[in-house]
Structure 1
Amino acid sequence: MMISFPFKSMRAGQKEIADAVENAINNREKLIVQASTGMGKTAAVLYAAIKKAKEKDLKVLFLTAKHTHQNIVYETMRKINSVSSDKVSFAGVTGKRSMCLFENEVEPSLFIEFCRAVREQDMCDFYSNTFTKNKDVKPKAIEALSSGISDSKSVMEAARNFELCPYELSLLNAKQSTLVVANYSHAFDPGIALGFTIRTGIDPGKTILVVDEAHNLPSKILDMNSFSISQRILEKAYSEATIAGYSDIALKIDKIIGSLRSITKESAIDIRDSFIETDMQKLEEIVKFHEKGYNIPSTFILKNFVEKLLSVKEEDIIYVSIDDKGNRKINVNSLDPANYSSGVMDAFYSSVLMSGTFRPIEMFSSLLGIEDSKSLEVEGDSQQGNRLTVIDKAVTSKFSSRDEQYSKIAEEIDSIMNSAKHNMIFFFPSYFFMERVYSRSTLKDKITLEEKNMSRDRKAEIMDKLSYSSAVLFAVINGNFSESIGVKNNMVKLVGIVGIPFEPPSIKLKAMQIYYDRKTGSGFEYAQVLPTMIKVMQAAGRGIRFTGDRCAIVLMDSRYDTPIFRKYLPDDVLIVNENPSQIIKEKGFDK
């Protein structure tokens, strides 16, 4: 048996990563890997994990934040197989809804119930072609499994050819594979994870967990374990309960609707005791009363909401939000990802979390409840001299100084544009802030502005423009361009972060800060600084995607040079008290 590294030799840092991963697996430990973008950490981690999995007869579950991020894992695994005497089977699994071949226009929140309904009523031929009524795999599905399927694309092709359910086919393929590539939700969403592990034969105690781009994990876990229901759905559920003859349930719903109507701004609402366990059966009966064919009643959404509400944690916040049109919604938000992540990772044989944005590591381990984890920080030799990070102390986005600063920031950006003749992106805290600076620029004709609600074609058009020299893009943090954009061939050589993009004040943010003040004594840092700096460093990383890329990063706010922010930045950051264009030129990053 022989698993080989997919390239002729390991680059600087890759051997260190692979050795650390092997050691963590040998000792059944958790490992956090902070490694620079472009140094090949995916290849190093995957190689070591697969090697150990084959030695110890384990599986590997490799999780990504988005299904589009799975392609690099598939490519790397194919390269490993091409140079190894022992071939490794692998499978890709994405969301059930995204793989569905059954034509439908069902709302995302109703899809799971829609899928169940059409299966139980024998209305889905794709599912019926995959399993018998006794849940045995049909010969056609067995033939598809033997056709060489692996990643999600090949599963979809086989499912179309054999007229099978793609999601079920991907689970069957995962059951017979050593490596399973899936989404965060397949391990960290309680409503998905249990069924997924059972259906794929994944025993966490015999599986190595790998989490890619794991700086996203805390926020993704909170999103997965937060839920909401709109006033419109409650009003429909009230009508359904009344028609079905459940006046007691209708009365409970009506009481909540009354409370909602009395609320005129974002505020907390207490509905924890609005329903009890015995109401779940009644809600299920209302759903069945109204469920016919493709019709999924609104009470189904309420039933799911109540089921989660009954197990809500004490520290979770429940509040009402109101949109611009006056539509009200009840939100239940989790505040602590450690409530979910620590138990999940404890269950696996070993866990490896990797990212290029993990500083300071101890904060991430605390946030995820894995303080017992080991850590490794690696920066490849290729990054030395290829990155210039500058803090510009001459400007700030501090609210009290903004009016006078718009012109100053525009002036500094104009100076940078005049001195550096290559593509650059400047990220702003908001569209409002971006437009104020743009209006004061003397070089408007050279600047492309990101637009709200951009179409895919318009985004592609702007990316194409960046492939030519001297293009300048003004964009927004958390917008279309701050993460997961296809920057290739080192086409962006300067990234500016204008200001500090704190999340706007909200009840949720205030509750999180209070919670972490009580838990750690550092509520402001956990609730505001850490999430903000993750966004900043991800946006800053748009310029260096591959080995050999060169990029200047300009942090345009004096507050970055304070201890609470500096700990997130590279050690070699430079400070300037005036326009940074001169130092960019001196260091050779103007060409």
Structure 2
Amino acid sequence: MKSMKISVRELAEYAYKRGSIDEKFRSSKALSEGTAIHQAVQKEYKETEEKEVYLDFLYEMEEMTLHIHGRCDGVLRSEEGLVIDEIKSTSLEAEELEEDFFPEHWGQAYGYAYMYCEREQLEGINVQLTYVQKASKKKIRYLRYLTVEQLAEEVRFMVEAYTPYALTLVRMRAQKHETLPKLGFPYPSYREGQRTFAGSVYRTAREGRTLFAQAPTGIGKTISSLFPGVKAMEEGDFEQLYYATAKTTTRETAEEAIRLMQEEGASLTAVTLTAKDKICFQEETICQPEYCSFADGYYDRINDALVDILTNESLLDRSTIETYARKHHICPFEYSLDLTNAADIVIGDYNYVYDPRVALKRLSRDRTKKMGLLVDEAHNLVERARDMYSASLSASDFETLPSLVESDRAGSLAASIASDISSLFPENQREVSIDEIPGVMEERLEAFVEETESFLRDLLPEEQNETVMNVYFGSQHFLNMLEQKDDNFVYIGKEKEELKLYCLNPRTVVKRITDAYRFSVYFSATLSPFAYYKEMLGGTPEDYILKLPSPFSREQIDTIFTPLSTRFRDRERTARDVSDSLKKQTETWPGNHLFFFPSYSYLELIHSYAKEWGKEIVVQERNMDEERKSEFLAQFTEESEIIGFAVLGGVFSEGVDLKGDRLRGVAVVGVALPPRDIEKELIHRYFENQDRNGYNYAYVYPGMNKVLQAGGRLIRSEEDHGVLQFIDDRFMTPVYRGLLPEEWKNK
């Protein structure tokens, strides 16, 4: 018989939750607050009373069996008899909290009570909801007695409400497991290196390990990671994959790979997560019923919307989600998040996994231990993670708050924090690092957050001040990162204005997150040098490593090394020579070319000379949106002779496929070293103290990764041929030359 497992909480929320999305202010520490409140109440239990009691029950129906399970907060003993206690924290004041305000809470408690009665053969039991007000810690209790027959009726209602969705999920799971054994590789043959990569991913998934793989352009990384990941699901060790990527183009490539497997007969459901501000139907993203009709009544309509889309669609990309969201008049962003519970594959940005500010609450430990993690373009994650785990406070922002907040205490604390930041650093130093901040400052920051929360909770969106909200959330993030602080972090002060908790090495935090998943695969065409990226992303000696050669031949690339200095001090002097070298490339190899520069200012300098070439030149603009980016690339046709000027590390140096005659040549001007600043110097010093080459870790490796990405735009298939020019005398030295792929060193 068909069966599935579901927690009491999930069952109750599905059946009872009604009403609207109402994202009024909430503390970002809600989960940890709730845990602390639960523990505080449970400490008050008598020695004879039980807490965290595991209960389960098999609910059999004609169509299927539901395995309902969960942990009851408490089984108490009172004069009235046994009591099932369900503890909930709330921001509502006591007078607002009516007994039936949250029917899903009663539903959860009824579920535990029914299972306990069945287990202990009781005729009835007391059911209690214990609410704890977060700010005051005041307890409000509601107590009811129900017979086992009444409890059975409550559970029957929840099960009947859930059954259509459950049957949909069971059907999807059965079809998946029926079709996966028959699924073959969706291409006639494997490319060189592709089978090796796919086999390594499969082995990693089956064994629950971590793999770091450098898979050069042309191998087909996306299908070579997704296909074995999907095939490994056959054994039932895990149920879902999260495909993490940083760019729209790679998300689209993942969707195409899934479409190919579906066309081969695989019954798979995949959902793509799109940022809220991009997918929102409204001009302003205000998720409250009085402002957005798609939020109004969302929970009244979501259950039908889930069954509808899962019955009729399998590739839930942005367009499909928007279509069904409009059909059912619901928020498309929340819709996509709710679909992650049912999808076999979730495609989304890194931040939904790694960023503590926006990571999906749905990715609980219970979920991730049954989920595989595929991290595409993993070289991008190092700097992204550094940014995610760093936090800043601005003295000037705190100075403005006393006139903006209603609370005198919050204003006073803000003024003190501003003074604390300014007094941390010597008068004559613009930038400085320190090991610790005074404990009193941390206490003030905690008090400020708590005090600010107390009045922000009651504000409507139009009453919220943007500066106050930014300072509050920035302070909250700073405190959260303080909990992570170890030797991998340092404090930086700038201009007596900014205090920054800077993450020098994200490996510890990244590894902690990765360890929660069944398995993980980090892959990129440019994990070079390999040891650097493995270390920065939390790799261990036990992890698998794979470094594959390029599937392309040396004969496809004509490589030129032009030993001119592009150092900042020499740029004006060598600009004419750089321009002449680029012009010669376009004359020797007619067609379309892309030239990459380390900065906009340097690009503009060379462009001023290139205007004399008499050729059609297009230039990357600052802050180009997707439409402008598409227009830029559309000019590169097989018949055109376009010269594109772009920036290393920008939107055109990754994820761009101009195959065949759409791109004849690429030139990389400079080694793309990051500008020298206090953060890079601290990274330099940190790794020197770790017996590493600190200069390479801080400057050379990040810069050369941009070079490798830009150079990789040239050859995208076995049929491509072209010229690749490196303009900088440092490319002739062993350090930089050694970081280039072998097939780029032919001349």
Shorter-chain-normalised TM-score: which range?
0.7 to 0.9
Answering whether residue 693 of structure 2 is matched by residue 525 of structure 1, we say: no
Residue 126 of structure 1: how far off its partner (Å): 2.4
Cα pair distance change 1:242/1:292, threshold 3 Å: closer
Residue 95 of structure 1: how far off its partner (Å): 2.6
Match of 1:510 in 2: 681
Superposed, 1:106-185 pairs within 5 Å as: 115=287, 118=288, 124-131=292-299, 138-148=303-313, 150-185=316-351
Q: Do the aligned residues in 1 keep the contact of 2:620 with 2:645 (CA within 8 Å)?
A: no
Answering whether residue 558 of structure 2 is matched by residue 388 of structure 1, we say: yes
Residue 256 of structure 1: how far off its partner (Å): 5.2
Cα pair distance change 1:547/1:237, threshold 3 Å: farther
Match of 1:9 in 2: 189
Cα pair distance change 1:23/1:410, threshold 3 Å: same
Q: Distance in 1 between matches of 2:708 and 2:655?
A: 13
Which one is further off, 307-316 or 262-271? 262-271
Cα pair distance change 1:39/1:505, threshold 3 Å: same
Q: TM-score, normalising length from structure 2? A: 0.68
Out of 231, 235, 255, the position equivalent to 2:419 is 255
* More contact order relative to length (CA 8 Å, sep ≥ 6): 1
Match of 2:670 in 1: 499
Answering whether residue 213 of structure 2 is matched by residue 33 of structure 1, we say: yes
Residue 344 of structure 1: how far off its partner (Å): 1.8
SS at structure 1 position matched to 2:295: helix
SS at structure 2 position matched to 1:569: coil
Cα pair distance change 1:264/1:185, threshold 3 Å: farther
Residue 329 of structure 1: how far off its partner (Å): 5.5
AA in 2 matched with 1:19: G
Residue 411 of structure 1: how far off its partner (Å): 2.6
Q: Do the aligned residues in 1 keep the contact of 2:280 with 2:331 (CA within 8 Å)?
A: yes
Match of 1:22 in 2: 202
Residue 266 of structure 1: how far off its partner (Å): 5.1
Answering whether residue 573 of structure 2 is matched by residue 404 of structure 1, we say: yes
Match of 1:334 in 2: 503
Q: Do the aligned residues in 1 keep the contact of 2:597 with 2:646 (CA within 8 Å)?
A: yes
Q: Distance in 2 between matches of 1:172 and 1:146?
A: 15
Answering whether residue 406 of structure 2 is matched by residue 226 of structure 1, we say: no
Answering whether residue 259 of structure 2 is matched by residue 94 of structure 1, we say: no
Out of 569, 572, 595, the position equivalent to 1:426 is 595
SS at structure 2 position matched to 1:385: helix
SS at structure 2 position matched to 1:396: coil
Q: Distance in 2 between matches of 1:50 and 1:348?
A: 15
Q: Do the aligned residues in 1 keep the contact of 2:295 with 2:331 (CA within 8 Å)?
A: yes
Q: Distance in 1 between matches of 2:558 and 2:529?
A: 20
Residue 16 of structure 1: how far off its partner (Å): 1.2
Q: Distance in 2 between matches of 1:209 and 1:9?
A: 26
Q: Do the aligned residues in 1 keep the contact of 2:218 with 2:716 (CA within 8 Å)?
A: yes
Answering whether residue 442 of structure 2 is matched by residue 275 of structure 1, we say: yes
Out of 247, 252, 262, the position equivalent to 1:71 is 252
Which one is further off, 67-76 or 350-359? 67-76
Q: Distance in 2 between matches of 1:569 and 1:476?
A: 19
Q: Distance in 1 between matches of 2:442 and 2:605?
A: 49
Residue 480 of structure 1: how far off its partner (Å): 4.5
Residue 258 of structure 1: how far off its partner (Å): 5.7
Cα pair distance change 1:53/1:300, threshold 3 Å: same
Residue 212 of structure 1: how far off its partner (Å): 0.8
Q: Distance in 2 between matches of 1:266 and 1:538?
A: 35
Q: Distance in 1 between matches of 2:661 and 2:425?
A: 53
Answering whether residue 376 of structure 2 is matched by residue 212 of structure 1, we say: yes
SS at structure 2 position matched to 1:497: strand
Cα pair distance change 1:427/1:68, threshold 3 Å: closer
Cα pair distance change 1:574/1:443, threshold 3 Å: farther
Q: Distance in 2 between matches of 1:451 and 1:154?
A: 32
Q: Give CA deviations for 1:3-53 in whole Å, capped at 9, x if unaligned.
A: 221122222221111111112222222112212212212112111000002
SS at structure 2 position matched to 1:390: strand
Q: Do the aligned residues in 2 keep the contact of 1:93 with 1:180 (CA within 8 Å)?
A: yes
Q: Do the aligned residues in 2 keep the contact of 1:425 with 1:475 (CA within 8 Å)?
A: yes
Which one is further off, 312-321 or 357-366? 312-321
Q: Distance in 2 between matches of 1:321 and 1:491?
A: 46
Cα pair distance change 1:140/1:460, threshold 3 Å: closer
Out of 465, 473, 477, the position equivalent to 2:635 is 465
Answering whether residue 658 of structure 2 is matched by residue 487 of structure 1, we say: yes
SS at structure 2 position matched to 1:475: strand
Cα pair distance change 1:260/1:479, threshold 3 Å: farther
Out of 520, 524, 547, the position equivalent to 1:377 is 547
Match of 1:316 in 2: 489
Cα pair distance change 1:14/1:202, threshold 3 Å: farther
Residue 191 of structure 1: how far off its partner (Å): 2.8
Which one is further off, 458-467 or 303-312? 458-467
Q: Distance in 1 between matches of 2:406 and 2:268?
A: 57
Residue 79 of structure 1: how far off its partner (Å): 1.1
Match of 1:585 in 2: none
Q: Distance in 1 between matches of 2:691 and 2:331?
A: 47
Cα pair distance change 1:242/1:272, threshold 3 Å: farther
Cα pair distance change 1:460/1:445, threshold 3 Å: farther
SS at structure 2 position matched to 1:504: coil
Q: Distance in 2 between matches of 1:94 and 1:464?
A: 24
Residue 184 of structure 1: how far off its partner (Å): 0.6
SS at structure 2 position matched to 1:525: helix
Q: Distance in 2 between matches of 1:9 and 1:575?
A: 29
Superposed, 1:550-589 pairs within 5 Å as: 550-574=721-745
Q: TM-score, normalising length from structure 1? A: 0.84
Q: Distance in 2 between matches of 1:485 and 1:230?
A: 38
AA in 2 matched with 1:295: E
Q: Do the aligned residues in 2 keep the contact of 1:359 with 1:567 (CA within 8 Å)?
A: no
Cα pair distance change 1:50/1:255, threshold 3 Å: same
Report how many aligned residue pairs link the two structures.
552
Residue 302 of structure 1: how far off its partner (Å): 2.0
